[in-house]
Amino acid sequence: MLEKMGAMRNAYGEALVELGANNQKVVVLGADTTDSMKSGMFGQKYPERFFNLGIAEQNLVGVAAGLAFGGKVAFAGTYAIFVPGKCVDQIRNMLCYADLDVKLVCSHAGITVGPDGGSHEQVEDLALMRAVPHMRVVVPADAVAVKGIIKGIAEIPGPFYVRITRGVIKGSNTPIVYENGFEYKLGKANVVMDGGSDVALFACGIMVPEAMRAAESLGKKGVKASVIDVHTVKPIDQETVVKYAKLCGASVSAEEHNVIGGMGSAVAEVLTDQYPIPLKRVGVNDTFGESGEAQELLNKYGLTAAHIEEAAQQAIAMKRR
Amino acid sequence: MGMTTSQEIARLQELARNTRKIILETLAEAGSGHPGGSLSAVELLVTLYFYKLRHDPKNPKWADRDRFILSKGHGAPLLYSILAQAGYFPLSELKSLRKLGALLQGHPDMDIPGVEMPAGSEGIGLSVGVGQALAARLDGRPTRTYVLMGDGEQGEGEVWEAAMSASKFKLDNLVGMIDRNGIQQDGLTEQIMPLEPLAAKWRAFNWNVIEVDGYDYLQLIEAFDTAEMVKNRPTMIIAHTVKGKGISFMEWSPTYHGTPPTKEKMEDIYKELK
């Protein structure tokens, strides 16, 4: 389990190139990070449909909006600290208010950006994007999911925000969760480890493999956990969240994001509205990050399998007898 | 059309007079909204819509149409007045501007026929114009894209990001327009955040710049025609205008940036419009 590795950004670049061949409407925009983001792969192949706007993120989003008004499906992105960081207004008042076919795909989210430090470690993006009407928010768990999601959302009209990770291992890799492939369905969570009825582990992004490791370790101690990949944070799969709440009676959320406003908050909203059970939220505890290697930061900020396991035990202990 | 220039100008003058009347009646009825920056750009937009723009109100989504983008969204009463006269929706819709359930929202949105972009947050329209112009070029469409900005709006950094990108991509199918009325919400632009030398700034960004008197039809017509001839560069038309133009007590008044006329004032307004 989880022995293969893959780079999310390479998967993004490859997915764009494949999309470009099949769909002439697809255009790609970048902001001086297209080499790092691998969106430049599309530019190599289809230079006439590729636009580098330089270090100007508000204009990046505005120009993408204009291309979408002109009938294109625009993939635009840069590092997550800059988009949505510098252009929430353009995203709200243009992409979402006009329901435009712009897919924002942003990398280097969360604290695993690593050595660049706190100024670059985006832990608010899911909260920011989730609060805007019409926006859909997706967090792929691995490189396979990135490819499936990029191809999937190209066929679904309207705005998306997709958050990808720079990498956890050897710079740009993360563990592969979906060795057998991934097909994207909007608003449908994936149950990656099923059957555990003691605790439900809701995770997204790189915390999915951590949750799987936690479930495995819990299993050895006789605690049965289910792991649900909540890749689409909005619209969240309410049915699956409630189904596993009923099955398990205790839950944990795990995300590489502030505990305020992200996937854990979305799960909490569903639970409080429909089926209240204990929920322990694993995430960045409303603080900024710092420089360090990705794994060191995950350890320090409490975002590992061990932390999820501990939270699971606490959630189980909180179950009403 | 077989019209002489003087006939053409007389036609535009009549449309402008009517546009001004509709704007003021609409705002008096609505009880809120922005008269100043609507009145200042009447002749500019009347000339664009009724002399230059290739569009079809019976077929608002015609792919090859020219695009007009209102970036200064508070100019909504002006845009609505023109769209109604062009036939995009009945003039009677203007009576419910800004009212609950109305088609015509306080600032433009995409449910309104003829509106090409939602607006209200300043500074975004020129970027969207760049995207529209790129899409038209990719498709080989004859579409030309026109973007109207306010002068106060020039304070937004995104305007200058868009300016750089339009010249990078050599967008000669893009025309920007600035309603240079000199007044923004808090007062004179040159006191709040000085813009001059504004034309030189746009020239420095590699735009073709044309300065016009915003009430001289010959200059306006020539500017739109000339912009079409320019190759490999976008054009910026800076129209020198007067905030609140046409109504003596509204001219040069920051108060009337965002305050509508009362219904009692309409008697005076009708006298001035004759």
Residue A121 bears catalytic tag: no
Which residue among A63, A94, A98 places its CB closest to the CB of B130? A63
- Judging contacts by C-beta atoms under 8 Å, the chain A residues touching residue B107 are none
Task: Using CA coordinates, name the residue in chain A closest to B156.
Answer: A58
Q: Are residues A32 and A160 in the same domain?
A: yes
Judge: B130–A69 Cβ closer than 8 Å, yes or no: no
Q: Are strands A136-138 and A174-175 parallel, antiparallel or unpaired?
A: unpaired
Domain containing residue B202: 5-273
Task: Supply the pLDDT for residue B254.
Answer: 82
Q: How far is CA A20 from CA A9, A49, A63, A255, A283, in A?
A: 17, 9, 19, 32, 36
Domain boundary among A127, A146, A175: A175
Query: How far apart (Å, rounded) are the C-alpha atoms in residues A74 and A49?
Result: 10
Q: Which two tokens stand for residue A111?
A: 């604290």
Asked if A226 and A192 touch (Cβ cutoff 8 Å), the reply is no
Domain boundary among A123, A149, A175: A175
| Chain B residues with a Cβ under 8 Å from any Cβ in chain A | 63, 67, 109-110, 116-118, 120-121, 123-124, 126-136, 138-139, 157-158, 161-162, 164-165, 169
Q: Which two tokens stand for residue A171?
A: 């710079």
Query: How far apart (Å, rounded) are the C-alpha atoms in residues A50 and A60?
Result: 12
- Judging contacts by C-beta atoms under 8 Å, the chain B residues touching residue A94 are 117-118, 124, 128
Judge: B135–A71 Cβ closer than 8 Å, yes or no: yes
Backbone angles phi, psi at A227, to 5 degrees: -120, 125
Q: Which of B72, B78, B9 is nearest to B42 (CA)?
A: B78
Most B CBs within 10 Å: which of A48, A50, A69, as the mutation test of the B interface?
Answer: A69
Question: How many other C-beta atoms can be found within 10 angstroms of the C-beta atom of residue B79?
Answer: 28
Task: Supply the pLDDT for residue B26.
Answer: 95
Q: How far is CA A41 from CA A34, A37, A144, A155, B214, in A?
A: 8, 9, 18, 21, 47
Mean pLDDT by 10 residues, chain B (274 residues): 85 97 94 93 98 97 98 97 98 95 96 97 98 98 98 98 98 98 94 98 98 98 98 98 94 87 91 87
Q: How far is CA B256 from CA B102, B178, B191, in A?
A: 24, 19, 18
Q: Are residues A128 and A213 in the same domain?
A: no
DSSP 8-state class, residue A51: E
Q: Which of A113, A106, A120 is nearest to A160 (CA)?
A: A106
Judge: B131–A98 Cβ closer than 8 Å, yes or no: no
Three-state helix/strand/coil letters over chain B: CCCCHHHHHHHHHHHHHHHHHHHHHHHHHHCCCCCHHHHCCHHHHHHHHHHHCCCCCCCCCCCCCCEEEECCHHHHHHHHHHHHHHCCCCHHHHHHCCCCCCCCCCCCCCCCCCCCCCCCCCCCHHHHHHHHHHHHHHHCCCCCEEEEEECHHHHCHHHHHHHHHHHHCCCCCEEEEEEECCEECCEEHHHHCCCCCHHHHHHHCCCEEEEEECCCHHHHHHHHHHHHHCCCCCEEEEEECCCCCCCCCCCCCHHHHCCCCCCCCHHHHHHHHC
- The domain tally of chain B equals 1
On whether residue A180 sits in a domain, the answer given is: no
Question: How many other C-beta atoms can be found within 10 angstroms of the C-beta atom of residue B105?
Answer: 18
Q: Are residues A87 and A13 in the same domain?
A: yes
Q: Are residues A72 and A152 in the same domain?
A: yes
Task: Using CA coordinates, name the residue in chain A closest to B132.
Answer: A66
Task: Supply the pLDDT for residue B2.
Answer: 65
- Judging contacts by C-beta atoms under 8 Å, the chain A residues touching residue B149 are none
Task: Supply the pLDDT for residue B128.
Answer: 98
Task: Supply the pLDDT for residue B54.
Answer: 98
Most A CBs within 10 Å: which of B110, B111, B141, B158, as the mutation test of the A interface?
Answer: B158
On whether residue A43 sits in a domain, the answer given is: yes
Full strand arrangement of the beta sheet holding B235-240? B67-70, B145-150, B174-180, B235-240, B208-213
Helix residue spans in A23-107 (DSSP H): 34-37, 40-45, 57-69, 88-90
On whether residue A167 sits in a domain, the answer given is: yes
Domain containing residue A273: 190-319
On whether residue A112 sits in a domain, the answer given is: yes
Q: Are residues A93 and A216 in the same domain?
A: no
Answer positive or negative: Cα dihedral of A88, A92, A94, A100: positive
On whether residue A251 sits in a domain, the answer given is: yes
Q: Are residues A109 and A243 in the same domain?
A: no
Size of interface A-B (CB pairs under 8 A): 105
Q: How far is CA B59 from CA B88, B147, B253, in A?
A: 9, 21, 39
Judge: B131–A53 Cβ closer than 8 Å, yes or no: no
Q: Are residues A255 and A200 in the same domain?
A: yes
pLDDT digits (tens), chain A, 321 positions: 899 999 999 999 999 999 999 999 999 999 999 999 999 999 999 999 999 999 999 999 999 999 999 999 999 999 999 999 999 999 999 999 999 999 999 999 999 999 999 999 999 999 999 999 999 999 999 999 999 999 999 999 999 999 999 999 877 999 999 999 999 999 999 999 998 999 999 999 999 999 999 999 999 999 999 999 999 999 999 999 999 999 999 999 999 999 999 999 999 999 999 999 999 999 999 999 999 999 999 999 999 999 999 999 999 999 976
What is the domain-level CATH number for residue A237? Answer: 3.40.50.920
- The domain tally of chain A equals 2
Asked if A178 and A26 touch (Cβ cutoff 8 Å), the reply is no
On whether residue A185 sits in a domain, the answer given is: no
Task: Supply the pLDDT for residue A171.
Answer: 73
Helix residue spans in A131-290 (DSSP H): 143-154, 207-220, 238-248, 263-274
- Judging contacts by C-beta atoms under 8 Å, the chain A residues touching residue B161 are 53, 56, 58-59
Asked if A144 and A6 touch (Cβ cutoff 8 Å), the reply is yes
Burial class (CB in 10 A: 0-12, 13-18, 19+), A45: middle
Peptide bond into A84 cis (omega under 30): yes
What is the domain-level CATH number for residue A125? Answer: 3.40.50.970
Which residue among B138, B161, B164 places its CB closest to the CB of A49? B138
Catalytic residue, from A18, A48, A57, A293: name it: A57
Judge: A94–B158 Cβ closer than 8 Å, yes or no: no
Domain boundary among A143, A175, A207: A175
Most B CBs within 10 Å: which of A63, A67, A89, as the mutation test of the B interface?
Answer: A63
Asked if A199 and A250 touch (Cβ cutoff 8 Å), the reply is yes
